[in-house]
């Protein structure tokens, strides 16, 4: 569980996060949604400490992250997996070496055990046969999947995914969503996903935080969204006529 209270983040004089508070629950996929530029990435980076929030408190399982020193943060981070918006694969390493890197760094397993684990997670993200390729030789969607594989290889307790399915076709998108959802449930992970993909919101939105201009505008789950009266949220989620219709249908279904 990650709880954060009154997070404020400014860049120079630009206010990017304005007093955001929320609880990210374990064993759930917690979504942060909002338009481009609403502060999703900045919020995630504040939560893991890549940005220092100007104000506010972040609490991991009852321990204040804001008050931890560098060593304590380092230990906590060994339980965090993160997928970056741009994948951030190490481009001097092959796919296999990328995924194996955390194992090399933090475990004393034999090479054989490590390779077994690497192939296991690569299989989970549906990426077989690309082991020896370099990041520059694979597609954007494949990079995303390698990024996820690297993030989950050490069985993290907290998983952060910044737009795991942007730039992917709908089918692969759904596969990735389902994969993240399944491992969240299996290992009782606290998963935090940034997205503006409406499919994800509807399919895996256990706990949704809607940011607008750096403020918390709304929160709830994927059912609540259907019945929400919030105008901004409705305009954002059900932007097209097609989606409006889908909403009506879903509403009727749920009411039945």
Partner 1 sequence: MNFFSHFGAYVMMIRDMFHKPENPKLYWKEFMHQCVEIGIRSLGIVCIISVFMGAVSALQTAYQISSPLVSKYIIAQIIRDTVILEFSPTLICVVLAGVVGSKIASELGNMRVSEQIDALEIMGINTKTYLILPKVAAAVFTIPMLVVLSMVLGVLGGRMTVSLAGIISTDTYDKGLIELFKPYNVFFGLTKSYTFAFLISSIPAYFGYNVKGGSLEIGRNSTTSVVVSCVVVLLADYILAALLL
Binding site for Mg ion (CB under 5 A): 41
End-to-end CA distance of the chain: 34
Name the binder of 84 from ligand ATP, partner 1, Mg ion, none, CB < 5-8 A by kind.
partner 1
Does position 106 bind partner 1 by CB under 8 A? yes
What string marks each residue from 190 to 209 as x (binds ligand ATP by CB under 6 A) or -?
------x-------------
Q: Is residue 34 a contact residue for ligand ATP (CB under 6 A)?
A: yes
Residue count at the site for ligand ATP (CB under 6 A)? 12
* Binding-residue pattern over the window 18 to 47 for partner 1, x denoting contact by CB under 8 A: ---------------------------x--
Candidates 7, 20, 33, 42: give the one binding ligand ATP (CB under 6 A): 42
Closest to 224 measured CA to CA, from 31, 17, 5: 31
The alpha carbon of 70 is separated from its chain's Cα centroid by a whole number of angstroms, namely 23
Between 148 and 209, name the residue whose CB sits nearer to ligand ATP: 209
* Closest listed residue to residue 22, CA positions, set 209, 213, 205: 209
Cβ-based nearer residue to ligand ATP, 210 or 238: 210
Token representation of residue 51: 């940005």
Q: How far is the CB of 234 from partner 1 (least distance, A)?
A: 34
* Contact of 141 with 169, CB cutoff 8 Å: yes
Give the CA distances from residue 256 to residues 104, 106, 206, in Å, rounded to whole numbers and listed in that order.
Answer: 53, 52, 21
Q: Binders of partner 1: how many residues, by CB under 8 A?
A: 22
Closest CA to 212 of 83, 88, 43, 74: 43
According to DSSP, the residues that pair with 193 across neighbouring strands are: 31, 161
**Residue ranges that bind ligand ATP, judged by CB under 6 A:** 11, 16, 34, 36-42, 85, 196
């Amino acid at each position: 569980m990650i709880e954060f209270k009154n997070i404020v983040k400014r860049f120079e004089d630009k206010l990017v996060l304005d007093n955001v508070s929320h609880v990210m629950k374990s064993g759930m996929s917690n979504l942060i949604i909002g338009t481009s530029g609403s502060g999703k990435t900045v919020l995630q980076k504040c939560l893991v400490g890549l940005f220092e929030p100007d104000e506010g408190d972040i609490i991991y399982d009852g321990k204040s992250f804001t008050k931890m020193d560098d060593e304590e943060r380092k230990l906590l981070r060994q339980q965090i997996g993160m997928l970056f918006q741009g994948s951030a694969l190490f481009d001097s390493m092959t796919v296999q070496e990328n995924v194996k890197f955390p194992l090399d760094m933090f475990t004393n397993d034999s090479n054989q055990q490590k390779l077994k684990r690497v192939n296991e997670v690569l299989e989970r993200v549906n990426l077989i046969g690309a082991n020896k390729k370099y990041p520059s030789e694979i597609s954007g969607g494949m990079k995303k999947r390698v990024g996820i594989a690297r993030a989950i290889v050490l069985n993290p307790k907290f998983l952060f995914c910044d737009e795991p399915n942007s730039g992917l076709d709908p089918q692969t998108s759904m596969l990735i969503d389902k994969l993240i959802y399944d491992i969240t449930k299996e290992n009782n992970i606290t998963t935090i996903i940034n997205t503006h993909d409406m499919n994800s919101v509807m399919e895996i939105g256990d706990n949704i935080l809607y940011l607008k201009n750096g403020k918390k505008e709304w929160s709830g789950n994927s059912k609540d969204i259907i019945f929400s009266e919030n105008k901004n949220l409705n305009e954002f989620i059900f932007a097209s006529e097609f989606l409006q219709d889908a909403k009506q249908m879903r509403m009727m279904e749920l009411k039945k």
